[in-house]
Structure 1
Amino acid sequence: MRLTRSALAAVALTALSVGATTALASPASAAPNTTPQKVCGSGYKTVNSAPIGSLGTVYLTYNSSNGKNCVTTIRNNPGNARAMSAWIYVPDTNEGDEDYGQYTSYAGPTYVYGRAHCVDWGGNIGSVYVQVLGSNCAALKEHRVTFTR
């Protein structure tokens, strides 16, 4: 399973790198100080997060009523559009969602059914990337990676 997870992580990382350089979406508009709940919707609670350097944070949220996870990347200081992303992947089911583009405030939301599954998720702002593998797996320890391209 380690080899499979490593291969999936490499695919996710490659997609993240390629997507971050491709501006396919129009800039998102949101007031400064938005929250993951405003982006993902009512019923979503933050269950995990990871800082993206000093630029912002990528959030993993969960809605217990529908079993879905949502990921969004939110900038600390909205402004001119920058390359941003938010993505989530469930290795057990091979389901995922991603959002890459040039955004002024946040990327996402991205949704996937994650009840009783480990999830891999992450995002970027500019050249700083974060990925969290094997997250929310009860007693298993997640693996976090932050890097700059």
Structure 2
Amino acid sequence: MTIIRRASAIGAAVTAIACAATALAPAAAAAGPAAQRATAAPKAAAAAKYNGACGGGYSVVNSAQIGTKGTVFLTYNSATGKNCVVTVRTTPGKAVHMTASLGFASPTTTVSDTGYYTTYAGPVYLDARGLCVTWRGEISGEVAGKNGTNCGSLAANRL
């Protein structure tokens, strides 16, 4: 079992519950279905919802949950060929350090929006027709995203 230390009391409580559920699972299996239901692992935190910050014509094509703090969304507009990234907090509140970034490897290009925000970071846009993109979101030091995904038609780069 891997345990990730969290600075918050909530993170410690969730870890303790998950560890207790794992430790009790063998005993619950021996006790039968009723005991298994009683020791089920806690539900995952609700993910943030896409807020439409990229504008009209953009659809969510990928996302990554940033722990319990929020979600980073990769969107695409097929009419313009542009990707857009926005990082959205699960629960808006006091301004915290956030980032939304989007890039591709060749030629090396990255656009980002970094600052202290109450609700979301971004949007950032990049025309990446025919390319794979790398995208990230960060909220208070916790990071999520993906490298080299959502590749456009590579035939677009051939002569």
TM range (shorter): 0.5 to 0.7
* Displacement of 1:137: 2.6
Instruction: Out of 90-99 and 121-130, give the one that drifted further.
Output: 90-99
- Is the partner of 1:89 in helix, strand or coil? strand
Residue number in structure 2 paired with 1:50: 64
Q: Matched residues in 2 for 1:96 and 1:130: separation?
A: 16
| TM norm structure 1 | 0.67
Q: Matched residues in 1 for 2:55 and 2:109: separation?
A: 21
Unmatched tracts of structure 1, length 5 or more: 1-32, 139-149
* Displacement of 1:53: 0.1
CA deviation vs aligned residue, 1:2-54 (integer Å, no higher than 9, x gap): xxxxxxxxxxxxxxxxxxxxxxxxxxxxxxx77342x1000000000000001
Residue number in structure 1 paired with 2:107: 93
AA in 2 matched with 1:102: Y
AA in 1 matched with 2:98: M
Q: Is the 8 A contact 1:89 1:95 kept in 2?
A: yes
Q: How many residues align?
A: 105
Unmatched tracts of structure 2, length 5 or more: 1-47, 153-159
Identity %, equivalent residues: 46
Alignment counterpart, residue 137 of structure 1, candidates 151, 154, 157: 151
The answer to whether residue 73 in structure 2 is matched with residue 59 in structure 1 is yes
Higher helix share: 2
Alignment counterpart, residue 35 of structure 1, candidates 50, 59, 81: 50
Residue number in structure 2 paired with 1:4: none
Q: How does 1:109-120 map to 2 (within 5 A)?
A: 109-120=123-134
Q: Is the 8 A contact 1:72 1:86 kept in 2?
A: yes
Higher strand share: 1
Residue number in structure 2 paired with 1:8: none
Judged with a 3 Å threshold, the aligned counterparts in structure 2 of structure 1 residues 51 and 70 are, in CA distance, closer, same or farther, namely: same
The answer to whether residue 94 in structure 2 is matched with residue 80 in structure 1 is yes
| Root mean square deviation of aligned Cα | 1.5
Q: Is the 8 A contact 1:120 1:132 kept in 2?
A: yes
Q: Which has the higher contact order (CA 8 A, sep 6+)?
A: 1
| TM norm structure 2 | 0.63
